């Protein structure tokens, strides 16, 4: 008797795309958890006045550098997933963002009050350009969402991109005031939440588009 045909198995191409998109969910978890734990264990670090990038300085700075690099690789992988999943700028922009995160991690920031150095300026430039790339990705998603009638998701995507840019401008000015630092931290958290949600939405779409009849895909399981 022939088995009934159902559509709950994904093609190999869809599986790869879904796997890559999964890194978009994990990237924020790695960055936030790694930064919070490192900051909590580092003597003298003040979450209200110190930018998380300063965790890259000192004898244990390699921990935060590793967090930057791993997170950048994950964001880049998610960008590849978005590029495979849909047209537009979101995929390329996230790939660029991932590369710039790695550069920002390798080029440690300047210590407060220590003047400017080449690696410090490179860190600042990579961070700023990275946040611009993130905003491009968010605006690209917002444009697509608006076209499909998902106005709430479009508005959230625009807000995530705009707020991250504004938060970066506040801390890039050199302010160590609690409102500026905590505000920037909040926008960074919001950006990772946005990327996780965007990745989940794309993951579900990729699953639906990549389904094949079980009778055709059973041999691959």
Q: Where are the domains of the chain?
A: 9-216
pLDDT band, very low/low/confident/very high, at 42 (cuts 50, 70, 90): very high
> Phi-psi region for residue 42, left (φ > 0), alpha (ψ -120 to 50) or beta?
beta
In this predicted model, what pLDDT tens digit does every residue of 145-184 receive, in sequence order? 999 889 999 999 999 999 999 998 888 777 678 888 899 9
Q: Coil, strand, or helix at residue 175?
A: coil
pLDDT band, very low/low/confident/very high, at 111 (cuts 50, 70, 90): confident
How many whole angstroms separate alpha carbon 201 and alpha carbon 102?
26
Closest CA relative to residue 97, chosen from 61, 62, 139: 139
**pLDDT(3) > 60:** no
């Amino acid at each position: 008797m022939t088995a009934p045909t159902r559509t709950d198995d994904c093609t190999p191409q869809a599986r790869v795309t879904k796997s890559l998109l999964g890194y978009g969910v994990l990237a924020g978890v790695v960055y936030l958890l790694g930064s919070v734990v490192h900051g909590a264990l580092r003597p003298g670090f003040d979450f209200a006045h110190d930018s998380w990038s300063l965790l890259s300085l000192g004898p244990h700075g390699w921990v935060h550098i590793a967090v930057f690099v791993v997170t950048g690789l994950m964001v880049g992988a998610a960008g590849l997933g978005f590029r495979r999943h849909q047209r537009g700028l979101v995929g390329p922009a996230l790939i660029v963002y991932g590369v710039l995160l790695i550069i920002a991690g390798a080029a440690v920031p300047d210590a407060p009050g220590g003047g400017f150095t080449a690696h410090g300026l490179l860190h600042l430039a990579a961070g700023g350009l990275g946040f611009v790339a993130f905003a491009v990705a968010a605006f690209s998603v917002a444009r697509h969402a608006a076209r499909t009638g998902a106005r709430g998701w479009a508005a959230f995507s625009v807000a995530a991109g705009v707020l991250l840019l504004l938060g970066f401008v506040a801390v890039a000015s050199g302010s160590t005031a609690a409102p500026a630092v905590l505000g920037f931290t909040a926008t960074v958290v919001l950006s990772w939440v946005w990327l996780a949600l965007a990745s989940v939405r794309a993951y579900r779409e990729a699953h639906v588009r990549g389904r094949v009849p079980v009778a055709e895909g059973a041999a691959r399981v």
